[in-house]
Amino acid sequence: MKAVYTELHRSHDPQFFLVRGVIKRTTEQPERADRLLAGLKAGKHTVVEPTLFGQGPRARVHSAEYLRFMEEAWDAWVALGDSGAEMIANIHPVRYGATYPTHIVGRLGWHAADTAAPISKGTYAAACAATDVATTAAQLVMDGEDAVYALCRPPGHHAYADMSGGFCFFNNSAVAAAQLRLKHERVAILDVDVHHGNGTQGIFYERSDVLTVSIHADPVFFYPFVWGYAHERGAGPGLGANLNIPLPKGTGDDDYIKAIGEAEKTIRAFAPGALVVALGLDASEHDPLAGLAVTTAGFRRIGAAIARLGLPTVFVQEGGYLSDILGANLTAALGGFEEAR
């Protein structure tokens, strides 16, 4: 399996992370990519550079005003003259009868779901590069590859059409799905990150052409808390095209595989032409965010279960944070997929 990667992600090195009122160094660090690259090397995957696609793929899933904000944000922040090293919103208007602001501080709040996606000088370039990685992987699959892995950083599945959040700025999995839609009438997204893919759900919630399925730690106790419940099924034309499978804290391999089986039934019934896997590795028993308890062998079983769907597949890296076995979990997930094919 080919893997797509670029060093441009390193320009995004966030520092701020607010956890229960305590400021910590974020877990979304550049070192994540080094450990994932080691996992690719162990799996003997060929790593290729992304093609530069420009704004087009991002514009398919993100609003024009959000794209403009992301492009202009850092320069406008610096122009304030007394601003900090990272852009962190201090207002969250939630838009009740609100007017779109013109001041950069107001725009930052408008476009931020939380404080977990600080913007610095290199963030926009890194986020754009991540969408190129995802789009390239999708295009390779459209051109005939059976499956391709996209090492995207920063991740994307918490990003809405016009909001950042949860370490995410542009929704790489949604971008990959939109690219695949150029060829396929229907596309499915299976999100196996420990967190609900709320941004992805939001982008496609009223669409019938993209099925969104998310298996995640129950939002009763875990981020994002206000999205990801089983009764969220889509709306309008998209009613029934969204499936959430929340799991109890500490769920291990066997029960996770049962959830994959439930997802498989829905995906087969939808009959998509291609699949995007939002590959979070943070369901690991050793992940610092500690929501679920999947073992390395469990990730191999997850990869094998995905392979049995028999679909052209784009793996898009989402979460998975610093632990000694992060790379091994990636090797296992992709290896299980390849062995089952």
* The two three-digit tokens of residue 17, written as one number: 């992370």
* Cα 324 → chain centroid: 22
**Can you give the pLDDT at residue 32?**
98
Q: Is residue 116 part of a domain?
A: no
How much is the pLDDT for 21? 95
Alpha carbon of 224 to those of 171, 197, 231, 259: distances in Å? 16, 9, 16, 20
Domain membership of residue 176 (yes or no) is yes
317 inside domain = yes
* 114 inside domain: no
* pTM for this predicted structure: 0.98
**Active-site annotation holds for 158:** yes
Residues in CB range of 55: below 8 A, 6 or more apart: 67
Does residue 224 have a cis peptide bond before it, meaning omega lies within 30 degrees of 0?
A: yes
Q: Which one is catalytic: 12, 111, 158, 286?
A: 158
Q: Which residues of 56-93 are buried (b: 16+ CB within 10 A; e: fewer)?
A: ebbebbbeeebbebbeebbebbeeeeeeeebbbbeeee
> In the prediction, which pLDDT does 55 show?
98
DSSP 59-70: HTTS-HHHHHHH
The answer to whether the beta carbons of residues 80 and 103 sit under 8 Å apart is no
Non-local (6+) Cβ contacts of 19 within 8 A are none
What is the pLDDT tens value at each position of the chain, 341 positions in all? 999 999 999 999 999 999 999 999 999 999 999 999 999 999 999 999 999 999 999 999 999 999 999 999 999 999 999 999 999 999 988 888 899 999 999 999 999 999 999 999 999 999 999 999 999 999 999 999 999 999 999 999 999 999 999 999 999 999 999 999 999 999 999 999 999 999 999 999 999 999 999 999 999 999 999 999 999 999 999 999 999 999 999 999 999 999 999 999 999 999 999 999 999 999 999 999 999 999 999 999 999 999 999 999 999 999 999 999 999 999 999 999 999 99
In a domain, 166, yes or no: yes
Domain span at residue 286 reads: 2-53+127-340
CB contact at 8 A, 127 and 154: yes
Look at the chain and report how many structural domains it folds into. Answer: 1
59: in domain = no
In-domain check, residue 43: yes
Let me know the angle formed at the C-alpha of 29 by 67 and 5, rounded to the nearest 5 degrees: 65
Q: How far apart are the first and last CA of the chain?
A: 11
The CA distances from residue 319 to 19, 142, 249, 330, 335, in Å, are 17, 25, 17, 11, 19
Alpha helices in 181-274 (DSSP H): 198-204, 253-270
CATH number at residue 290: 3.40.800.20
| Domain presence at residue 243 | yes
